[in-house]
């Protein structure tokens, strides 16, 4: 392995994580007593109780809905099983702030003069777009369960229900748990829905500290608490991953179709509940978007405004995807070629930043720009830096997989022919990694288009994207003007969600 590769991997990771390091460093600027008072104030206690209660409620509901739907579409013979399986994944394409906009605006249509906001409203809205984080891994896990073990259990006299809970669920439980923890991280980091629905959580409070007078100490203190909460969830996830029972599959029985049960008289109630969840999650925001879009695009000049925001979104997303991919590729090659404590540490640091709320990264980049990089403040480049910090793992994952599939012997043969390691890297390794690099690029680009809090904090003056225009109009309750931006955001995210679920079911035995 060339000596420059680990150095480059460390430098690129350090650059992507610079805002996070700077945020931690800034906590030392304040007297310890003031900092502790801000962290342990009554306000922080209220925010913590609300954030934890919302996280617990949404995670519990997502586990019930996600596992229940996954069980129906993979382990039963209900009618329209594959159609339900694909549609149940589509709420993943709806950003939480778009869903909040849809529910709130539909409430205004159906019940004028009333409000749709508060803790219960936030629980319903966030659950409706978050349960696929449990549903998708649960479907994949249930499809991978070895049918031979279920058949063996049935042959020992256990009924289908007992076999499902004692054999099937136990093998798929790690996927259920990891999906639930993903939901918890999502809820902790959510900013758009809780802000639109007026629920005081840490993310909303951090943004308020930034936008209303820029309370630096308050913002840093609350961000520190968010860091601790996220780190605790990641710690639990890592411990569960290490201690979970792993089941090996011997022979070729795993390629057999999974055992599917007939629900008999329970078929109609199960179908009713399943379709009620899926249709509600899709129809409420979908109907609102269709209704308000029809009214919004009829306003003179609105199409030009939508086109400008769409162009800005594509431009900054492509720029961020290119920068993030550029940072991810050398790190991916190092992780694939030299498994070590250093490479594993760099990989975990990258994923830690991705799990943090965008409002925390946005605040840290704002402070970095004001104090260290004033020449870049209020420029697109500082915004791209925040995107790189948030999105690095999205480009890193496919790139690592591609690097693992690229034979290192080809690089060695190139060097044996007298070429330098840099030439071997550019001419051999990168072309072989191209499919993985391309998929990571597209994934980052699509995710950046939907990102809201960091974009609100760091966008240059007068630079509007689909997400920021939607946010502005929603804040003014201008639902007709906001709807076209929301429609484009959902359409951009729906395509990969549809393709992913369709491919998963197509590959299922």
Residue 145 sits in a domain whose CATH number is 1.10.3720.10
Amino acid 340: pLDDT: 76
Instruction: Look at residue 379 and give its three-state secondary structure.
Output: coil
Contact between 186 and 130 (Cβ < 8 Å)? yes
The whole-angstrom separation of Cα 18 and Cα 205 is 23
DSSP string, 273-296: HHHHHHHHHHHHHHHHHHHHHHHH
Q: Which residues lie below 8 Å from residue 181, measured CB to CB, with a gap of 6+?
A: 233, 236, 237, 240
Task: Provide the number of structural domains found in the chain.
Answer: 2
Residue with tokens 């070895």: 146
Say whether pLDDT at 297 is over 70. no
Per the domain annotation, does 53 fall within a domain? yes
Q: Which residue stretches of 115-257 are H helix?
A: 119-130, 132-144, 147-155, 160-163, 169-189, 192-196, 202-211, 216-243
Contact between 324 and 395 (Cβ < 8 Å)? yes
Per the domain annotation, does 483 fall within a domain? no
Same domain, 73 and 8: no
Say whether pLDDT at 3 is over 70. no
Same domain, 315 and 247: no
Q: Report percent pLDDT > 90 for the chain.
A: 10
pLDDT in tens, 104-129: 888 888 888 788 889 999 999 999 99
**420 DSSP 8-state letter:** -
**427 DSSP 8-state letter:** I
Per the domain annotation, does 485 fall within a domain? no
The whole-angstrom separation of Cα 350 and Cα 440 is 15
Q: Look at 192-201, 400-409, 467-476, 483-492 and tell me which has the smallest mean pLDDT.
A: 400-409
Same domain, 262 and 305: no
Say whether pLDDT at 431 is over 80. no
Per the domain annotation, does 480 fall within a domain? no
Q: Look at 56-60, 201-205, 335-339, 503-507 and tell me which has the smallest mean pLDDT.
A: 503-507
Q: pLDDT band at 500, cuts 50/70/90?
A: low
DSSP string, 297-326: TTSTTHHHHHHHHHHHHHHHHHHHHHHHHH
Per the domain annotation, does 401 fall within a domain? yes
Alpha carbon 413 to chain centroid distance?
Answer: 40
How is residue 34 written in tokens? 């003031």
* Residue from 438, 442, 465, 490 nearest 380 by CA: 465
Amino acid 478: pLDDT: 78
Q: Which residue stretches of 372-429 are H helix?
A: 380-405, 408-416, 421-424
Q: What is the pTM of this model?
A: 0.79
Same domain, 236 and 329: no
For 427, other C-beta atoms within 10 Å of its C-beta total 13
Same domain, 246 and 361: no
Same domain, 138 and 282: yes
Structural domain of 373: 1-20+297-475
Say whether pLDDT at 318 is over 80. yes
Same domain, 504 and 398: no
Higher pLDDT, 32 or 485: 485
Per the domain annotation, does 482 fall within a domain? no
Per the domain annotation, does 271 fall within a domain? yes
Contact between 490 and 93 (Cβ < 8 Å)? yes
Average pLDDT, whole number, for the chain? Answer: 78
**145 DSSP 8-state letter:** S
* Residue from 212, 465, 424, 260 nearest 333 by CA: 424
Q: Which residues lie below 8 Å from residue 126, measured CB to CB, with a gap of 6+?
A: 54, 58, 96, 99, 186, 187, 190, 193, 194
Same domain, 198 and 76: yes
Say whether pLDDT at 301 is over 70. no
Contact between 119 and 53 (Cβ < 8 Å)? yes
pLDDT in tens, 392-401: 877 887 787 7
Contact between 329 and 430 (Cβ < 8 Å)? yes
Residue with tokens 């209704």: 291
Say whether pLDDT at 252 is over 50. no
Say whether pLDDT at 446 is over 50. yes
Amino acid 423: pLDDT: 60
Same domain, 272 and 377: no
How is residue 92 written in tokens? 């993943």
Say whether pLDDT at 325 is over 50. yes
Amino acid 199: pLDDT: 92
Same domain, 442 and 496: no
The whole-angstrom separation of Cα 111 and Cα 152 is 56
Same domain, 8 and 57: no
pLDDT in tens, 83-111: 888 888 888 878 888 899 889 888 888 88
Q: pLDDT band at 250, cuts 50/70/90?
A: very low
Higher pLDDT, 152 or 82: 82
Name 76's bridge partners: 261
Same domain, 361 and 462: yes
DSSP string, 439-493: HHHHHHHHHHHH--HHHHHHSPTT---HHHHHHHHHHTT-HHHHHHHHHHHHHHH
Per the domain annotation, does 336 fall within a domain? yes
């Amino acid at each position: 392995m060339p000596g420059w590769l680990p150095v480059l991997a460390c430098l690129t990771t350090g650059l992507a994580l610079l805002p996070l390091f700077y945020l931690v460093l800034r906590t030392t600027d304040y007297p310890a007593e003031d900092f502790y008072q801000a962290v342990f104030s009554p306000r922080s206690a209220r925010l913590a109780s609300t954030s934890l209660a919302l996280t617990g409620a949404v995670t519990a509901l997502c586990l019930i809905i996600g596992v229940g739907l996954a069980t129906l579409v993979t382990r039963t013979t209900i009618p329209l099983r594959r159609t339900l399986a694909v549609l149940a994944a589509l709420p993943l394409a709806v950003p939480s702030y778009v869903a909040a906009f849809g529910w709130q605006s539909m409430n205004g249509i159906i019940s004028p003069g009333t409000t749709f906001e508060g803790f219960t409203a936030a629980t319903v809205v966030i659950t409706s777009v978050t349960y696929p984080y449990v549903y998708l891994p649960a479907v994949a896990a249930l499809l991978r369960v070895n049918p031979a073990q279920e058949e063996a259990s049935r042959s020992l006299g256990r009924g289908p229900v007992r076999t499902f809970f004692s054999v099937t669920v136990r093998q798929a439980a790690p996927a259920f748990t990891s999906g639930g923890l993903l939901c918890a991280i999502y809820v902790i980091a959510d900013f758009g829905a809780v802000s639109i629905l007026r629920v005081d959580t840490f993310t909303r409070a951090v943004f308020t500290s930034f936008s209303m007078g820029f309370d630096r100490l308050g913002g840093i203190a609350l961000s520190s608490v968010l860091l601790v909460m996220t780190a605790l969830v990641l710690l639990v996830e890592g411990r569960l991953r290490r201690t979970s029972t792993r089941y090996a599959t011997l022979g070729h029985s795993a390629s057999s179709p999974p055992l599917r049960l007939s629900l008999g008289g329970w078929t109609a109630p199960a179908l009713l509940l399943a379709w009620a969840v899926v249709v509600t999650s899709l129809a409420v925001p979908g109907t609102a978007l269709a209704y308000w879009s029809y009214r919004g695009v009829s306003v003179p000049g609105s199409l030009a405004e939508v086109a400008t925001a769409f162009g800005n979104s594509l431009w900054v997303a492509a720029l961020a995807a290119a920068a993030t991919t550029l940072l991810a590729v050398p790190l991916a090659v190092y992780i694939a070629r030299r498994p070590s404590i250093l490479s594993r540490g760099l990989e975990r640091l990258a994923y830690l930043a991705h799990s943090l709320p965008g409002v925390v990264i946005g605040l840290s980049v704002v402070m970095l720009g004001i104090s260290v990089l004033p020449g870049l403040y209020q420029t697109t480049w500082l915004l791209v830096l925040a995107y790189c910090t948030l999105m690095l793992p999205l480009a890193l994952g496919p790139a690592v997989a591609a690097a693992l599939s690229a034979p290192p012997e080809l690089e060695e043969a190139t060097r044996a022919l007298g070429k330098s390691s840099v030439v071997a890297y550019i001419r051999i390794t990168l072309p072989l990694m191209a499919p993985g690099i391309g998929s990571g690029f597209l994934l980052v680009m699509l995710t950046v288009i939907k990102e809201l809090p960091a974009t609100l904090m760091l966008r240059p003056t007068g630079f509007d994207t689909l997400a920021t225009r939607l946010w502005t109009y929603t804040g003014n309750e201008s639902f007709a003007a906001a709807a076209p931006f929301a429609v484009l955001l959902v359409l951009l995210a729906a395509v990969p969600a549809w393709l992913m679920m369709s491919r998963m079911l197509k590959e299922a035995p």
